[in-house]
Amino acid sequence: MRDLFKKRLNFHQRHMQKYLRYVFNDHFVLICVFLLGGVGLYYSEFIKTLPNNFWPATLVVLVALLAVLPIGHFATLTQEADIVFLLPKERALKDYFKAAFNYSLVLPFFVELLILGFLMPLLVATSSLGFSAFFILLLSMWCLKFAHLKIATLKIYQVTTTFLKQAELTWFGVATISLAAGIFLNPFLGLVFASITAVVTQQVVAKREDNLDWEKMIDKEKSRLHRIYQFINLFTDVPEITATVKRRAYLDGLLQKIKSQQSNTYLYLYTRRFVRGSEYSGLFIRLVFIGSLLLYFVHDLYFSVGLGILFIYMIGFQLIPLYNQFRYMVLTQLYPVSSQQKAKALQFLLVVLLSVAAVIFAISAGFALSLWTERFLVIAAYFLMVFFFTHWYVPSRLKKMAA
């Protein structure tokens, strides 16, 4: 059964690698480097302003670490056909699920390592702890995550919902006590609590792992994969994601403003797709909201300019796949519309959407910046970015996509 899991894991990893090259492209990596550099600089300057033994910041670290612990789900890699073909082998699947459990621990452990490493300077600056406590706190978090994932494995068995809720609530209470003891009292004390939690949870869960709930197990795996595909769908089209369409009659006025003439064929189609489709409009709204929220708290001119330009680029880059949305529609192949008109239609739509985003970002940044000269510089920088992106980057990008 371990060999079966290895085969499925290899297939799953190859399948994910096919999409990851679109996610971690050169532009995305460059944006991440820029963003991490800016956040790191802002973070280091922020820490210098905090007084020693500033307990509210320490409390924020505790809450952040508690929020990180639930990250990561039990990945079974099961398929619908398993209900038929693996049902007779249910008792032999223990080795399969052990391998799945070990695999499911890798990503959460890595995420906790990164988050704790990021928060450690803040914790050291505002508490009596030193950097030597990092490894002890990390081991405590790993023990607590081990216990959390053990409880998550019960969701594929015939266990009552009441028991699962009680187990999760108990785990959360113990996790809070363990991390609080490790941060505010002694890191070793927190590690002792976390270790005991891991051992006791493993023993309790082992007694409950009896009969599988096959349908629930497969539904949970489908849901887990769907969340992954939703993230990948932000960067490229994913066949596993089915787009949802909403009527949104209150936006019909936008479509009616587009003149009914041949040159506006694709402009109408792209606008209609954006307005009534959930993925592109939802993506636009989310990124505009997050960007404007961050800009509201940024008081540095250069960081505000860089952050706004970054979000304008991200929004525009994620909307470029609209270009191929009607590639397989027969009528668009028969109707005499040139590829130049198609490119211009997308370019015009991006100008409108990115200009709206630039205005919202400028207003949000204007609340944080005190000088009018800084506000005008921010507006100018954002609209220059819109111009260069839509008139230089988009045409070159579309040529590559059409080739």
pLDDT in tens, the chain (403 residues): 778 888 888 988 888 888 877 777 666 677 777 777 777 877 888 888 888 778 888 899 999 999 999 998 998 888 888 888 877 777 888 888 889 999 999 999 999 999 999 999 988 888 888 888 999 999 999 999 999 999 999 988 888 889 989 999 999 999 999 999 999 889 999 999 999 999 999 999 888 877 888 888 898 988 888 888 877 776 666 766 666 656 666 555 665 666 666 666 777 677 777 777 767 777 788 888 888 888 888 888 888 888 888 889 888 888 887 777 666 565 656 666 666 777 788 888 899 899 999 999 999 998 888 888 888 999 999 999 999 989 888 888 777 766 6
Specify the pLDDT at position 260: 66
Specify the pLDDT at position 242: 63
Residue type, 240: E
pTM: 0.72
Specify the pLDDT at position 333: 62
Closest CA to 198 of 218, 212, 178: 178
Specify the pLDDT at position 150: 93
Closest CA to 103 of 224, 227, 205, 241: 224
Residues found in the chain: 403
- In the Cβ-directed half-sphere of 143, how many Cα atoms lie within 13 Å? 23
Q: What's the token pair of residue 37?
A: 């550099």
Looking up tokens 């596993």, which residue turns up? 240
Q: What's the token pair of residue 197?
A: 């939690």
The sign of the torsion formed by the CA atoms of 56, 57, 60, 65 equals negative
Closest CA to 35 of 285, 290, 231: 290
Specify the pLDDT at position 256: 60
| Strand spans (E) along 150-289 | none
Q: Residue 96 in 3-state DSSP?
A: helix
Looking up tokens 């529609």, which residue turns up? 329
Whole-Å CA distances, 380 to 306, 309, 355:
12, 11, 11
Cross-strand partners of 277: 245
Q: What's the token pair of residue 278?
A: 């959930």
Rounded distance between C-alpha atoms, residue 113 and residue 295, angstroms: 28
Residue type, 236: T
Contact 182, 191 (CB under 8 A): yes
Cβ neighbours of residue 27 closer than 8 Å, sequence gap 6 or more: 313, 317
Specify the pLDDT at position 331: 61
Rounded distance between C-alpha atoms, residue 175 and residue 193, angstroms: 8
Rounded distance between C-alpha atoms, residue 217 and residue 73, angstroms: 12
Contact 377, 305 (CB under 8 A): yes
Label residue 350 exposed, middle or buried (CB < 10 Å: 0-12, 13-18, 19+). buried
Cβ neighbours of residue 134 closer than 8 Å, sequence gap 6 or more: 116, 117, 120
Q: Residue 327 in 3-state DSSP?
A: coil
Looking up tokens 């990092």, which residue turns up? 134
Closest CA to 349 of 227, 289, 267: 267
